[in-house]
Amino acid sequence: MSALLAADLPRMTVEDFLAWTEAREGTFELDDGHVLAMAPERVVHSRAKFAAARTLADAVASAGAPCETFVEGPGVRIDAATSYQPDVVVQCGDRLSGDVRMVDRPVIVVEILSPSTAYRDLGRKARNYFRVPSIAHYLIVDADERVVTHRWRGEDGMVVSKDRTDGVIELDPPGLAVSVAGLLPPAEDGPA
């Protein structure tokens, strides 16, 4: 869930934002210079994030890919005034220094939908993530509906989208294969 912070905050660049967040608790994103605070997540969101990260990390290890999986860690810079903090990101290439706060070669980004962020995750974020040349795949996990939307760059550079409820998703680059079931949290037994 997200909410715009106080309207009296000035618009920021990514560099200003990184300095501003250094002294603050919580998770924030910067969208066109505006700071957004991320609200605490539901348990199902946390379970889905863990499942997706574990599945992607296992796939990276199995493939021997020169990549690393991060959970709600470093951000993804879109432009000078926008940076997002995906739930999971797979960064490929040389290993990053431990003090880095933004990945420089994200290949896969994952967002877990929540009722309050679905509009942004499916719209603005989806468009903006593909402005980053290294991003080849955007996985949008709807834990409530048990659907994974896979968006990827087609051969002609056009973004292609497919909703998946089962099977295997090929993520090439970097040459990974992940099961849809692995990206989803365990099925709930029903209402408590």
Terminal-residue alpha carbon distance, the chain:
23
Distances (CA, A) of 35 to 3, 5, 17, 105: 9, 6, 8, 23
> What parts of the chain have a pLDDT lower than 70?
1-8, 189-192
Give the model's pLDDT for residue 96: 94
Residue 62 lies in a domain: yes
Token pair for 60:
């990276």
Residue 137 lies in a domain: yes
- d(CA 141, CA 170) in angstroms, rounded, equals 16
Give the model's pLDDT for residue 191: 41
66 SS3 class? coil
Residue 21 lies in a domain: no
Residue 24 lies in a domain: no
- pLDDT tens, position by position, 82-100: 999 999 999 999 999 999 9
Residue 9 lies in a domain: no
Tally the domains of the chain. Answer: 1
Give the model's pLDDT for residue 26: 85
What range does the domain containing 92 cover? 41-183
Kindly report the pTM of this predicted structure: 0.92
Residue 164 lies in a domain: yes
Give the model's pLDDT for residue 115: 80
DSSP 95: P
Residue 118 lies in a domain: yes
CATH classification of the domain holding 120: 3.90.1570.10
Residue 5 lies in a domain: no
